Amino acid sequence: MAFFKRNKKPSSAEAPVANAGSITAKVRELEILSKRLTNHLFTGEYHTAFKGRGMAFKEVREYQPGDDVRFIEWNVSARMGHTYSKLFEEERELSVYLLVDMSASSLFGTYRQTKKDLITEICAVLAFSAISNNDKAGLIFFSNKIEKYIPAKKGRDHVLYMVREMLSFQPHSAQTDIVKALQFLNNTTRHKSIVFILSDFADAGYSDILKVAAKRHDVIGIQVYDRRDEHLPKAGLMQIRDAETGQVKWLNTNDTFTRVNYNRQFLKILEDAKQTFRSAGADLIQLPTGEDYVKALKDFFIRRA
């Protein structure tokens, strides 16, 4: 299922390709923004949020004041007659994968930015946060197929390449299939990783494969939407086109019944995503375009600490 959009954004096949100079300037802009956020706002939050996701068991020792009671080794404590704790050491590195929805609905935006713009900024911030913590970062572009795969690596040059691809890559399909993206992830990435899925999640049928992915990886969904996804403007009779299927309809946007149904469709997509991620044991952040995503990410990292 996809939102109906006013036919103002070009399809993926029609989307203009930015020139090399503007892409280079935008890459530099995103690097500066991401480093500022990483250094001043996300200092420690990213690391703390994922501490314990990349921890390996080292040994058992006698419990000491201040030890986390969750790590008490009850079997050993019972045998020895004293309380013992599990001691962990942090794995030297984690892999962070960004699964990015490149379908045509991401080109939609009516307030300050498109959904793709918002996704690109968030991806840049997450990638630079990863490498600043000595983690690897990788990228999977998907539509209703895998559009591009960039294996996880470390280093500034690698992240700049990822950002450049996010700005310039032109997908071959306009549609969405989250199932195929998660199947590719599960088949490609055996090592437990941190996985961010960035999409409007205007799709269905991915519940089972998400549960499989969430058992293997630490999965976080970031659902982006535009205010016009939520409410139709009162603009009279309007021709609208589904960005992914190309289906065209005429709607009377002044009609109360039409406006209520449109809003219900949007709310159902948000609620379905919430329920699907909750049942899979995965996290979900829901973000509108044009709003402060920095606070939402920071609050999310702190909650996970």
Burial of 57 (0-12, 13-18, 19+ CB in 10 A): exposed
184 and 76 part of one domain: no
- How high is the pLDDT of residue 22? 82
- How high is the pLDDT of residue 89? 55
136 and 221 part of one domain: yes
Q: Among 291, 284, 300, 283, which residue's Cα sits nearest to residue 223? A: 284
Q: Among 214, 145, 150, 213, which residue's Cα sits nearest to residue 178? A: 145
- How high is the pLDDT of residue 88? 62
Strands (E), 63-120: 84-90, 95-101
**Which residues span the domain enclosing 247?**
4-48+92-304
Q: Among 217, 204, 227, which residue's Cα sits nearest to residue 275? A: 204
37 vs 93, more confident: 37
- Examine the pLDDT at 4 and tell me if it is beyond 70: no
> Which of 15-19, 86-90, 144-148 has the least mean pLDDT?
15-19
User: pLDDT-based confidence at 32, cuts 50/70/90?
Assistant: confident
Residue recorded with tokens 């970062």: 137
153 and 296 part of one domain: yes
User: pLDDT-based confidence at 57, cuts 50/70/90?
Assistant: low
18 and 60 part of one domain: no
Counting the structural domains of the chain, the total is 2
- How high is the pLDDT of residue 7? 38
- Examine the pLDDT at 215 and tell me if it is beyond 50: yes
Q: Among 180, 92, 102, 164, which residue's Cα sits nearest to residue 127? A: 164
At 291, which CATH number? 3.40.50.410
212 and 297 part of one domain: yes
At 225-283, the pLDDT tens digits run: 998 888 888 889 988 888 778 888 898 989 999 999 989 999 999 999 999 999 999 99
- How high is the pLDDT of residue 12? 39
- Domain end position, chosen among 69, 90, 111: 90
- Examine the pLDDT at 90 and tell me if it is beyond 70: no
- How high is the pLDDT of residue 188? 92
63 and 110 part of one domain: no
216 and 76 part of one domain: no
- Examine the pLDDT at 95 and tell me if it is beyond 70: yes
Q: Which residues pair with 241 in a beta bridge?
A: 5, 248
Residue 253 three-state SS:
coil
Joined together, the tokens standing for residue 170 give 């032109």
120 and 103 part of one domain: yes
- How high is the pLDDT of residue 239? 84
- How high is the pLDDT of residue 3? 45
34 and 84 part of one domain: no
Percent of the chain at pLDDT exceeding 90? 47
d(CA 281, CA 211): 7
- How high is the pLDDT of residue 41? 60
103 and 172 part of one domain: yes
- Examine the pLDDT at 66 and tell me if it is beyond 80: no
- Could you tell me the CA-to-CA distances from 133 to 78, 112, 168, 219 in Å, in that order? 38, 31, 27, 19
Burial of 243 (0-12, 13-18, 19+ CB in 10 A): buried
User: pLDDT-based confidence at 154, cuts 50/70/90?
Assistant: very high
- How high is the pLDDT of residue 34? 82
27 and 146 part of one domain: yes
174 and 114 part of one domain: yes
**C-alpha angle 254-256-262 in degrees, rounded to nearest 5:** 95
